Amino acid sequence: MSKKDDRANILLKQIADWMEKDGLSGEEAVEKLSIQQYDFLVDYGVNLDNLLLTPEQLKAASEVKRVKRAPSPNGYNKKYPKEKQELYGSICKHLEDLGAEIIPRDKQNYRDLDFTLNGTKYRIVLSNPRS
């Protein structure tokens, strides 16, 4: 064990002794620590929440940590630049004029264009690289 491990264990044992022998609450026992001792425990990564918070507060805190953002019912709707949409449409129109069959995508992304021409399947990826 390192010196820091030893120090953390000594401080936690001291808190437990104050709670057991002196009948202090967890919050009162933690308040008896010096600022340097408290800061050491926090910086060392000791979770003092179970001493400072009531069981109801601990439960509420854990529920807050688990809250997930509800997904949008329509999914993510990215806005595509008008110029890119027009270019994509022009490419589709030209390919159709050549006799290609455009393969529809589940969700239009104005990036991937799958089509077949003369029995061969192709994909064009329309990207705008950063310069």
**33 domain-assigned:** yes
Please report, in tens digits, the pLDDT of each residue of the chain (131 residues total). Answer: 688 888 888 888 888 888 888 888 878 888 888 889 888 888 888 877 777 777 787 788 777 777 677 776 666 667 888 999 999 999 999 999 999 999 998 888 888 999 999 999 999 999 888 87
Looking at residue 46, its pLDDT comes to 81
Q: Are residues 23 and 57 in the same domain?
A: yes
Q: Are residues 41 and 89 in the same domain?
A: no
Residues with Cβ within 8 Å of residue 51, at least 6 apart in sequence? 15, 26, 27, 29, 30
The structure tokens 């449409």 sit at 89
Domain hosting 91: range is 82-125
pTM for this structure?
A: 0.43
Structure token pair of residue 88: 């994509």
Looking at residue 103, its pLDDT comes to 92
* Strand pairing report for 120-125 and 112-117: antiparallel
Q: Are residues 10 and 59 in the same domain?
A: yes
Looking at residue 88, its pLDDT comes to 92
Looking at residue 9, its pLDDT comes to 86
The secondary structure of residue 121, as a DSSP letter, is E
Q: Are residues 60 and 88 in the same domain?
A: no
**131 domain-assigned:** no
